[in-house]
Amino acid sequence: MKVRNLLFIGLLTLATTAFSQNAVLRGTVVENGNASEPVAFANIVLQGTTVGATTDFDGLYVLNAKPGTYNVIFSYMGYKTDTLYSVELVAGEEKELNHEMRAESEILGEVTVVEQADRESQTALLINQRKADEILQNMGSQELSRKGASDVAQGLQKVSGISTISSKFIVVRGMGDRYNNALLNGLPVPSTNPDNKMPDLDLFPTSIVRNLQVTKTFSPELYGDFAGGNINIETKTYTDNPVFVIGLGSSFNTITTGQNFVTYKGGKLDYLGIDDGTRNIPASAENKPVYFDPNFNPIAKKAPVGQNFSFRKSNKIIRENGDQVGYLFSASHNVDYGYRDGFIRIYNAQNDSKLDYAMDRYTTSTNSSVLASADYRREGNKFSYTFLYANASTDETMETEGEHFDYPSDIFTRRYTYRENRVLINQLQGSHGLGSNENLKLNWGLGYSKAISEEPDRRQFVFLYDGDVSESERTYTFNAQDRIDNHRFFSELEENEVSGRVDLEWVTKYANEDKTEVEESFTFGLQAKDKSRYFDYRRFVFDLNGFSDYHSEADINNLDQYFQAEDFEQYDEDGYTLMSEENDVSSVNNSVLRIASAFGNYKKQINVRTRFNGGLRLEGSYQNIIFLHQQITGLVVENPLYNLYLLPSLNLRSDLTENTVLKLSGSRTISRPKFKEIAPFEYTEVFAGIKTRGNENLNNGVNYNMDARYEIYPNHGDMISATLFGKYLDDPIETVMKATASGQLQSYANAENAIVAGVELEYIKKFSNFTEHSFLKNFDFTANAAYMYTQTKIKEDLGNAQTNDQRPLQGASPFLANADLTYNLVRKELPTSLTLSYNVFSDRLYAVGVNGIGDQYEQAVNTLNFTLRSELSKRLSLSFKLNNILNPNVEIVQIHESGNNPIVNEYQRGVSGSFGLNFNLN
Amino acid sequence: MKKLIILSSLFASALFSLTSCEGTTEPDPNTDTFTVVEENGSMKISGIINRNYTMDADKDWTLSGGVFVGDGATLTIEEGTTIKSERNGANVAFLSVSRGGKLMADGSASNPIVFTSGEETPAAGDWGGIIVNGKATINTGAEAEGEGGTGTYGGTNDNDNSGVIRYVRVEYAGRLLGTDNELNGFSFNGVGNGTTIEYIQAYKGADDGIEFFGGTVNLKYAVSTGNQDDSFDWTHGWRGKGQFWVVNQLPGGGDRGIEADNNGDDNTLQPNSNPTLCNLTLVGSDDGDAENTGMRLREGTMAAIYNAIVTNFPKNGVRVSDQVTTDHMTNGDLVVAHSISANNGTNWKDCADFENDASNSSVDPALNGYVGTVAANAVDPTTLDGFFSAGTYIGAVEASNDWTAGWTIQ
């Protein structure tokens, strides 16, 4: 084993101070077939010597060596290593040796898929990251598939400082939904979640992703409601060569597959994640008596294995006149089954149990996507159109049973919840090179998107039973007292978003007096978006008072027998209204958010090392929600919020040495209330959940952000970085708990302030950079860790009842870490990779306690995943994944001053696995 | 600070249909935030009553949605007035007195004021009842939000005065809005003891009959009949005085005669619920679940209860729960004495201190319905506090003096 970890450091210095009788080798390294794309940081070594060089940003290299004949090795992570044999160097002479390198993705893609390598390979993205003035991180499709991420949320969890909640929502540097933005190809994405600004990120499968770009510092072309992360999902696009891939796969989970599974009779298209109308409100619901086909009977079966299939076809056509037309069409569909147990427990400040339900949840979920894109290039002009349809459905049967302190009997509840979330996105974007040398660049984009979230026919019944009787002997009675809790519920959300952007960039390059080249650019742009949201729900309740006259005992597995059409008619004749609509006039609400902004940005290469990038964004917004007053008859209420902000940002980047980069960034940004947060009506999103009411006096918050990042590139393809960040949030919008006559009431308020500070570390290591050992050199290692402090102070308010006025930000784990170890093997030009991925997040605030009850914290979770990807032939590749191998206990505890913290929920996810085959039909 | 924009056009348009415009008492759309519209021979009132206003007894009145008596305003209701909830109203009807507002509902035994359902077939839960929000102290923070968006209550003035409620009957209230979110017949939220409440009846409500959320208000002569949840309920630091209370459960549903709490989230929050009550008669019934209990003292409440009869409850007569409450009993901060618990499933449950108190007994009080008293072992309430009237007998209603006659219904 030959370790040469220090070899390349200072090689350039060595080259420039070489003896005069030496020979000089210089040249340019570019990407194969693309002379305009230099390969920066490529590694050039004369075999058998310690002489080498690296290329600069323009792909240029120069090295000095003793005269002789050498084999010259060109290598760089993400590219195929090439050796040029018998290159002769003559004393005192300069030899030019240019080289084209092939991106590895052309070789090590999914089944020899040749794609636009620059946005997919980790190495190329690392260069993009290094070159950027902003502090950003990329995760290309190669890294996503190597680390086994199957949706965007899973992928983002691998990025330093990011954690996920409920596998859907991201927390970036301790900051939740409000502080993050989601873009798709640079244009906004609507939300499918009535409570959130961001869409549920598990909606987007990684099969549509070319690159995930996370920007953690503000620059003026980003929307200003930002302090955590800006997530740009770049979708896959055309390929230089024809691709036609079909994939098939199946999945299992150790606590689900083959085990007992409870469901019910659904619709014919459930498998596709589309309700065929089975769950619509029937016409008979508008009549008297109100009647629904009951469909309450559970169906018990064994959970099958999950299935998925996908296909993708893409190509590029170059016409005779040189125009390029590229296209991509891909579709995927995934069906999965899940089981989760757990508890719903409530303890008071005395640690007395108020509620103790054991819970079983059986979930069938689907996830589908259709992505189509077309690109057209003609000279300096480029147009692209992207269409994305993503649909996710979940169909859950939840059963809870246990004790409620206020009931003499135990309580059994069965609930069926079907939810369908989908987004439809249309984007047309273009860029045009103008002026001489195309130094004027015009970029524009238009987007029209729709998000729909439907929860049709949630059905629930609550029963009473004697918990002292064994399960086999148990009998149930209807719970007539809680009329509202025996119900059918329908809700619908629709969000439409139109967005546009246009910017003009003027770039100039000129030589300074000292003959160094100076690059300067101005960008001026406009952006606007108009987002409108409609939400409504309807609820039909069963009045079972008097029902016991007919049925003293309830057969919980055959409820349909009690609710036939003739029964409803009979009850109606008897003057007994079994079912009626319980309406809330405030259920309908219309919200709108309009943002218009103008920005200017100035960039200048001050000297060889230092770049200045400063800008200003002027952002004006109008936000409103209109609804009927919940209590007062006929009163229409609205709450408009107008704001105008000037948001400056400054980014400085300095290449301190050839291997180290320092980036400094500062900015002022804002945060806005979410739609419902400014609407003073009460609603309960989740059954028996906490009531929530908006606060009409909320204002925008203002955020001050500072970042300093130090990056070291010790070897090519390796990186070490450390980032310090600090944020001061003025008037941040925080959850507060209001004192209330009964139950729990959550609201929102502008807190005094919040402070976020921390450090992020990243480490990327290619073992081949320090060893030539035939086994060890095939390893790659990436790791990141973040440590942060978050604290918010709630303003005093007479109506507040939360136990603690100072607390960490909700969902913020002080410590986060990821580590991934990959083994790459190429046999007969067929690559195989094996990756172990580890993720940990530390204890995080889960729920805020009220009236002396302690806050709830989710305990640290360690996750270990394994991914194997292998090409069996040029036409066939396979993948195998094992997720959650450690299968840890997920625990939520409630803090008690005695230190005896009761566990309010705990469960295990089980180990999941999947197996997939990809066929390359091209 | 931003203010909600209330689009008043609906109010304005509603006013065009006003037919009864005599006098200056009708709302002015320019200055008033409530409307009164005559519809089907009844005066339909909605909105926030922002100034003094009188409901005349010679008209029928309808509450449309939540009607609020605003801060600084007084709503006067003449004796003999009947007020109904709107039939099939889109919003749940209720009458809520805001902090700083007053309700002067001063009826008489012969001419009580009646609030009832406007539905064709009145039923429990048709509307939301009367809510009074006061400025007295509570133990859920400095102030709190009432159930169902009925207003904010609580403050620092234990002598606060929200008006007079006398000879008022509330029927078919107790609307359920959601789990843990229900309205009662009468809800007294942080009401101060400057308020006068006497001779009230909560009749056939779907939830509690009469409930106190903190505050110091006193209540004399109260009847809770056929309410489907608790007949009387206190929580969150109520410290008033009460005398002559009747619970009359009916077979159609019911839970506890009295459910008494300090605070469920934290049983030790201050000020502690600690009323003094004399002359109670709690008559239970079996609604089919055999679970009804007479008096459940729990979640850290203190109380001094004398001259009480608890009878005919299928489950327990008197029961004490939760450690903090039991400690209060042991320390003498929770007292039930000079009282009778008889003919219940279990007369004394988890309260040996009471059971062993020689002034208590389980001798059948031999009532006629809820009428009848027992002389033995009774205490003279006038010796306890000036609030209390003479009543040296156990029970609420003497056979010789049925104060419930005439203005209550069975």
Q: How many CA atoms lie within 13 A of A439 on its CB side?
A: 11
A852 and B266 in contact (C-beta within 8 Å)?
yes
In chain B, which residues have their Cβ closer than 8 Å to the Cβ of A700? none
Does the bond joining A298 to the residue before it have cis omega, within 30 degrees of 0? no
Q: ipTM for the complex?
A: 0.87
Residue A120, pLDDT score: 65
Beta strands A517-542 and A579-581: pairing type?
A: antiparallel
Q: Does residue B314 belong to the interface with chain A, where contact is any CB pair within 8 Å?
A: no
B93 and B128 in contact (C-beta within 8 Å)?
yes
Beta strands A487-511 and A733-738: pairing type?
A: unpaired
Interface test with A, best of B11, B34, B150, B180 (most A CBs within 10 A): B180
In chain B, which residues have their Cβ closer than 8 Å to the Cβ of A354? 264
Shortest distance, CA B267 to any CA of chain A (angstroms)? 7
Cβ distance A633 to B46 less than 8 Å, yes or no, reads yes
Q: Does residue B90 belong to the interface with chain A, where contact is any CB pair within 8 Å?
A: yes
- How far apart CA A371 and CA A237 sit, in angstroms, is 9
In chain B, which residues have their Cβ closer than 8 Å to the Cβ of A696? 2-4
In chain A, which residues have their Cβ closer than 8 Å to the Cβ of B141? 738-739, 798-801, 851
Residues sharing a CB contact under 8 Å with residue B261, sequence separation 6 or more, in sequence order: B233, B234, B235, B236, B273, B298, B299, B300, B301
Q: Does residue B14 belong to the interface with chain A, where contact is any CB pair within 8 Å?
A: yes
Residues sharing a CB contact under 8 Å with residue B165, sequence separation 6 or more, in sequence order: B103, B105, B130, B132, B186, B195, B196, B197, B198, B200
Interface test with A, best of B4, B67, B132, B207 (most A CBs within 10 A): B4
B65 and A631 in contact (C-beta within 8 Å)?
yes
Does the bond joining A289 to the residue before it have cis omega, within 30 degrees of 0? yes
Shortest distance, CA A739 to any CA of chain B (angstroms)? 4
Task: Among A483, A641, A687, select the one facing B2 at the smallest CB separation.
Answer: A641
Helices (H), A531-604: 565-573
Q: Which residues pair with B335 in a beta bridge?
A: B304
Q: Does residue B66 belong to the interface with chain A, where contact is any CB pair within 8 Å?
A: yes
Task: Among A354, A696, A852, select the one facing B269 at the smallest CB separation.
Answer: A852
Percentages (nearest 5) of helix, strand, coil residues in chain B: 5, 40, 55
Interface test with B, best of A462, A545, A631 (most B CBs within 10 A): A631
Cβ distance B178 to A635 less than 8 Å, yes or no, reads no
In this structure, how many other beta carbons lie within 10 angstroms of the beta carbon of residue B240? 26
Shortest distance, CA B405 to any CA of chain A (angstroms)? 30
Cβ distance A484 to B89 less than 8 Å, yes or no, reads no
In this structure, how many other beta carbons lie within 10 angstroms of the beta carbon of residue A473? 7
User: Is the four-CA dihedral A115, A116, A117, A120 of positive or negative sign?
Assistant: negative
**Nearest of A462, A363, A464 to residue A418 by alpha carbon:** A363
CB pairs under 8 A between A and B: 185
Three-state DSSP state, A268: coil
**Nearest of B319, B310, B185 to residue B261 by alpha carbon:** B319
Tokens 């000879």 locate to: B167
A285 and A581 in contact (C-beta within 8 Å)?
yes
Largest CA distance in chain B: 69
Q: What is the pLDDT of residues A324-351, one digit of tens each?
A: 899 999 999 999 999 999 999 999 999 9
Determine the average pLDDT of the residues in B9-30: 50
- Using a 10 angstrom Cβ sphere, with 0-12 exposed, 13-18 middle and 19 or more buried, the burial of residue A831 is middle
In chain B, which residues have their Cβ closer than 8 Å to the Cβ of A349? 265-268
B195 and B161 in contact (C-beta within 8 Å)?
yes
Question: Which amino acid would we find at residue A624?
Answer: N
B 318-347 → A contacts, CB under 8 A = 322-324
In chain A, which residues have their Cβ closer than 8 Å to the Cβ of B142? 739, 798-799
Tokens 């619920």 locate to: B273
- Whether the pLDDT of residue B93 is over 60: the answer is yes
Cβ distance A801 to B141 less than 8 Å, yes or no, reads yes
Cβ distance A575 to B121 less than 8 Å, yes or no, reads yes
* pTM of structure: 0.86
In terms of CA atoms, which chain B residue is nearest residue A548?
B288
Residue A17, pLDDT score: 39
A46 and A93 in contact (C-beta within 8 Å)?
no
Shortest distance, CA A796 to any CA of chain B (angstroms)? 11
What does B251-311 look like in DSSP terms, one character per residue?
Answer: TTB--EEEEE-S-SS-TT-SSPP--EEEEEEEE----SSS--EEEEE-TT--EEEEEEEEE
Tokens 């636009």 locate to: A116
Tokens 């070594």 locate to: A45
Residue A103, pLDDT score: 66
Q: Does residue B250 belong to the interface with chain A, where contact is any CB pair within 8 Å?
A: no
Helix (H) or strand (E) holding B324: helix B323-331
- Please report which confidence band the pLDDT of residue B179 belongs to, taking 50, 70 and 90 as the band edges: low
Low-confidence ranges of chain A (pLDDT < 50): 1-20, 105-117
Residue B19, pLDDT score: 37
Shortest distance, CA A685 to any CA of chain B (angstroms)? 12
A910 and A881 in contact (C-beta within 8 Å)?
no
What does A411-430 look like in DSSP terms, one character per residue?
Answer: EEEEEEEEEEEEEEEEEEEE
- How far apart CA A210 and CA A235 sit, in angstroms, is 5
In terms of CA atoms, which chain B residue is nearest residue A679?
B4
- How far apart CA B403 and CA B396 sit, in angstroms, is 9
- How far apart CA B5 and CA A916 sit, in angstroms, is 57
SS3 string, A641-684, reads EEEEEEEEEEEEEEECCCCEEEEEEEEEEEECCCHHHHCCCEEC
A179 and A231 in contact (C-beta within 8 Å)?
no
In chain B, which residues have their Cβ closer than 8 Å to the Cβ of A575? 121
Cβ distance A640 to B5 less than 8 Å, yes or no, reads yes
- How far apart CA B56 and CA B24 sit, in angstroms, is 14
Q: How far is CA B381 from CA B196, B218, B302, B377, B385, in A?
A: 19, 15, 18, 12, 7
**In terms of pLDDT, which residue wins out, B327 or A824?**
B327
